[in-house]
Amino acid sequence: MKLSEYVAFDAVGLAELVSRGEISPGELASTALRAVEAVNPAINATVETWEPERDVPPGEPLPGTPSLGGVPFLIKDIGVAMAGKGMELGSRLTQGLVSPADSFLMRRFKQAGLVTLGRTTTPEMAASVTTESVQYGATRNPWRLDRSAGGSSGGSAAAVAAGIVPLAHATDAAGSIRLPASYNGLFGLKPSRGRMSLGPDFDEVFNGLAVQGGLSRSVRDSAALLDCISGAEPGDPYRIAAPERPYSTEVTRAPGTLRIGVLTHAWGGRRTVSTVNDALARTVQLCDELGHQTEEVTFDLGVSWEEFVLANACIWNANLAAQIDALAALLGRPIDSTTLEPWMLACYAYGRRVSGVDLVGALAVRNRVARSLGAFFRSHDLLLTPTVPEPPVPLGTYDEDVEELDGLGWLERLLGRSPFTAPFNVAGTPAMSVPLETDAATGLPLGMQFAAEYGREDTLFRLAGQLEQARPWAGRTPAIWAGDFEG
């Protein structure tokens, strides 16, 4: 298969070729690895790749869901353990760490028939919104190489956007699926808290702020993936109600008339720049044309922005400090500038000072935010915002004077520049970034975020399918695109 042919299919389309016997999983894997060779030197999206295991089972799709059997796949270098493969968390502290067994999520990827070929880059401990690390270097945006690919799932996003794979694993604790989706012109949905298992090593990550999922070039691919990985495992702390129907069937269902609140400027006072504001206005017009009811809204989060950031800093940094202590003890390595980056050392020091009382107070903030958003969704089906209030930023933007920041200052910087996404992690509600717009001046993608009440991924997928039909994005490709290479 030529690369130009390979990139013409999404994951579901490739799986259909496999099921009809038109191509084998091995041939697809070889094509994906050629795509890595073609584009990864420019974008630095993968940590490593490997030849697929022999005799990978084709996967058994759930009733009413399409197969993903034989589809090339990449996992982010954090959050999912694959037996015998590295998981280094983007850090020198954990260089060479190998997973002894599959996590529950990895087991489900394999059961779906996905063929995992490698790991994608992440910032250190996935604690940034740009994928730049001492361990891996900078991951570049395939649309424009001087721009960030976003984070913390920037490697997965850049790999999918550039055509290496149609679908890749991602995680999201403050926007790490949605922000890279916006930066790279992809579809990315953050599921509800508890939608899939984080076990067996974790019950919650970051006290429930983090979830896992994927990034894709089509809505149906993300729906099929969520169908494959949804559901609790023994010992999980949450058992969220299962959807009435597979998400794959929701993509083609009419969403009906939705009540959509529109928030132009984010909590915390950061103003949305004019080019993004114009893109939001066009999205509102599209929703109106599709028969939905939109209205401008303003509402608070139940806490001040300062309280919100402080609570995130307590939760993030306390969890990071505990994780770093455990990893350093396991590997016998020091916790200093030889193993951690300056901002991570600052987060570690801050986290060591967080008391139990501080953490309980942060969880009380989590509750108030969840209650405030829950009240909003009693009168609205969805909330529409820009995913990010500005276009993709230049590489190095987050490095400025980083040595002067403490752990609170680092979170203020991250959340200050990406304020629209984190509230839905705190509340545990689903949200998606849809690649509807571009910046006319630069051609860079601009994602629009839609958020729903807890457990209503079905509503999001219905709208996403409708938006994809009304304003298709499949024909838009970046400057670095595997389909432009022969082989």
53 DSSP 8-state letter: P
Q: What is the pLDDT at residue 66?
A: 86
Residue 107, both tokens? 């087991």
> CA-CA distance, 265 to 407, in Å (whole number)?
26
Cross-strand pairs, 74? 168
> CA-CA distance, 170 to 192, in Å (whole number)?
14
Most distant CA pair in the chain, distance: 60
- 383: how many CB neighbours lie within 10 A of its CB? 24
- What are the DSSP E strand ranges found in 202-262? 211-216, 259-262
> CA-CA distance, 222 to 474, in Å (whole number)?
14
Q: Is 314 exposed, middle or buried (0-12, 13-18, 19+ CB in 10 A)?
A: buried
In the chain the domains, ranked by start, together with CATH numbers, are 3-484 (3.90.1300.10)
Omega prior to 200 cis, within 30 of 0: yes
Q: Is 4 exposed, middle or buried (0-12, 13-18, 19+ CB in 10 A)?
A: middle
Q: What is the pLDDT at residue 57?
A: 57
Q: Are 387 and 431 in contact (CB under 8 A)?
A: no
Q: What is the pLDDT at residue 202?
A: 96
Torsion of CA 14, 131, 320, 74, to 10 degrees: 20
> CA-CA distance, 5 to 173, in Å (whole number)?
35
> CA-CA distance, 289 to 302, in Å (whole number)?
33
Q: Is 333 exposed, middle or buried (0-12, 13-18, 19+ CB in 10 A)?
A: middle
What is the amino acid identity at position 108? R
State residue 39 phi and psi, 5-degree precision.
Answer: -115, -25
> CA-CA distance, 181 to 464, in Å (whole number)?
14
Give me the active site residues, please: 76, 152, 176
> CA-CA distance, 140 to 393, in Å (whole number)?
11
- Backbone dihedral region of 146: left (phi > 0), alpha (psi from -120 to 50 degrees) or beta? alpha
Question: Going residue by residue through the chain (487 aa), what tens digit of pLDDT does each one get?
Answer: 999 999 999 999 999 999 999 999 999 999 999 999 999 999 999 999 999 876 555 666 667 778 899 999 999 999 999 999 999 999 999 999 999 999 999 999 999 999 999 999 999 999 999 999 999 999 999 999 999 999 999 999 999 999 999 999 999 999 999 999 999 999 999 999 999 999 999 999 999 999 999 999 999 999 999 999 999 999 999 889 999 999 999 999 999 999 999 999 999 989 999 999 999 999 999 999 999 999 999 989 999 999 999 999 999 999 999 999 999 999 999 999 999 999 999 999 999 999 999 999 999 999 999 999 999 999 999 999 999 999 999 999 999 999 999 999 999 999 999 999 999 999 999 999 999 999 999 999 999 999 999 999 999 999 999 999 999 999 999 999 999 998 5
For 252-302, write each residue's pLDDT tens digit.
Answer: 999 999 999 999 999 998 999 999 999 999 999 999 999 999 999 998 999
In this prediction the pTM is: 0.98
Alpha helix (H) residue ranges in 20-141: 25-43, 104-111
> Which of these, 166, 89, 146, 156, lies nearest to 123 by C-alpha position?
89
Q: Are 434 and 384 in contact (CB under 8 A)?
A: no
In Å, how far are 155, 176, 199, 214, 460 from 189, measured between CA atoms?
17, 10, 21, 7, 9
